[in-house]
Amino acid sequence: MLCLDICVCPPATAATEDEEEESEDESEILEESPCGRWQKRREEVNQRNVPGIDNAYLAMDTEEGVEVVWNEVMFSERKNFKLQEEKVKAVFDNLIQLEHLNIVKFHKYWADVKENRARVIFITEYMSSGSLKQFLKKTKKNHKTMNEKAWKRWCTQILSALSYLHSCEPPIIHGNLTCDTIFIQHNGLIKIGSVAPDTINNHVKTCREEQKSLHFFAPEYGAVASVTTAVDIYSFGMCALEMAVLEIQSNGDSSYVSQEAINSAIQSLEDPLQREFIQKCLEVDPSKRPTAKELLFHQALFEVPLLKLLAAHCIVSHQRELSQFPALELDKFLEDVR
């Protein structure tokens, strides 16, 4: 009905024409990849799949016919890039190999080196549905609480991605997990924005400087020479808390979130298992935090129904007797239990 009114109203029609012109400007092709497959548009993307990038634009994958994100990292001087070139290549070669349902896909990267500057450009999957943070804000605005099943589903998907990254050789640390770098699709599928390599963060501004994100970073950041995968578990714990309460209250007009506000949010949780789950992730001592794989089997997420548990115990206790049954009958028995 609103669209109909706009169409018949002269001022609105003019505005629509302006919008069409603006849309045409945004879809203008500014640059192509060396292979010609990816075309950079003027339209900027208001999300950063990889933290620490300088610019992100919408682009077209001309082979697949889908929209992607054209990310740019600027090195202030060519010599800075040359010193790091081999490390940059090694890092991005690894990132392109990552294949996981819950991780934003890296497609391609290349370097653009000029006389006085250097750029690293890389193409990532475009998440059109927005971040988890945006979804939580909308949910709170509608005065709704977080559904427990949805919380468990989201936590499981995020932990699955982290477990995959941490099991790589060498382990890959995400380094910047927040509700702003986790994306949710229309079908409920969760994807975490890919990792933030130190090679990038050493040369560009990162969102660690933003007050609103500081509470997501583990206390050992800046205190030790090198961090471990435990920093991702701390960040995940903060995400899990924010998902459960929808928003952790900041300190007045400031966007800074205090430890008191975090403790208050944890205590507001009614489920003791959920509280314990999050508190384990937020241990100050990184060695006391569980791994992503261990968390996947925590009672807060993983609950075996009593009947299945008894059936499994029965099978283990009577393996000798069950071995006398024909395989077909045993399979049918197990299927009935399931």
Q: What pLDDT digit, counting tens, does each position of 2-23 carry?
A: 333 333 334 445 555 555 555 5
Q: What pLDDT digit, counting tens, does each position of 153-200 carry?
A: 999 999 999 999 999 988 888 888 999 889 998 888 999 986 655 555
Q: Matching CATH topology for 30-125 and 132-296?
A: no
Better pLDDT: 225 or 153: 153
Q: How far apart are CA 262 and CA 250, in angstroms?
A: 9
Are 317 and 184 in contact by the 8 Å Cβ rule? The answer is: no
The pLDDT of residue 332 is 58
CA 245 to chain centroid, in Å, comes to: 19
Better pLDDT: 37 or 254: 37
Domain boundaries, the chain: 30-125, 132-296, 306-337
Mean predicted lDDT score pLDDT of the chain: 80
Are 277 and 296 in contact by the 8 Å Cβ rule? The answer is: no
Are 30 and 21 in contact by the 8 Å Cβ rule? The answer is: no
The pLDDT of residue 324 is 64
The pLDDT of residue 158 is 97
Query: Which residues does 333 contact at the CB level (< 8 Å), separation at least 6?
Result: 325
User: For residues 299, 304, 307 and 308, what is the CA-based torsion angle, rounded to 10 degrees?
Assistant: -150
With 0-12 / 13-18 / 19 or more C-beta atoms within 10 angstroms meaning exposed / middle / buried, residue 107 is middle
Q: How far apart are CA 51 and CA 328, in angstroms?
A: 54
Domain 132-296 has CATH 1.10.510.10: yes
Amino acid (one-letter) located at 128: S
Assigned CATH for 30-125: 3.30.200.20
The pLDDT of residue 116 is 75
Q: How far apart are CA 282 and CA 289, in angstroms?
A: 7
When pLDDT is averaged across residues 205-228 and rounded to a whole number, the result is 71
Counting DSSP H helices and E strands in the chain, the numbers are 13, 8
Better pLDDT: 198 or 145: 145
Q: How far apart are CA 100 and CA 161, in angstroms?
A: 7
Q: What pLDDT digit, counting tens, does each position of 276-321 carry?
A: 999 999 999 999 999 999 999 999 998 766 566 566 667 666 666 6
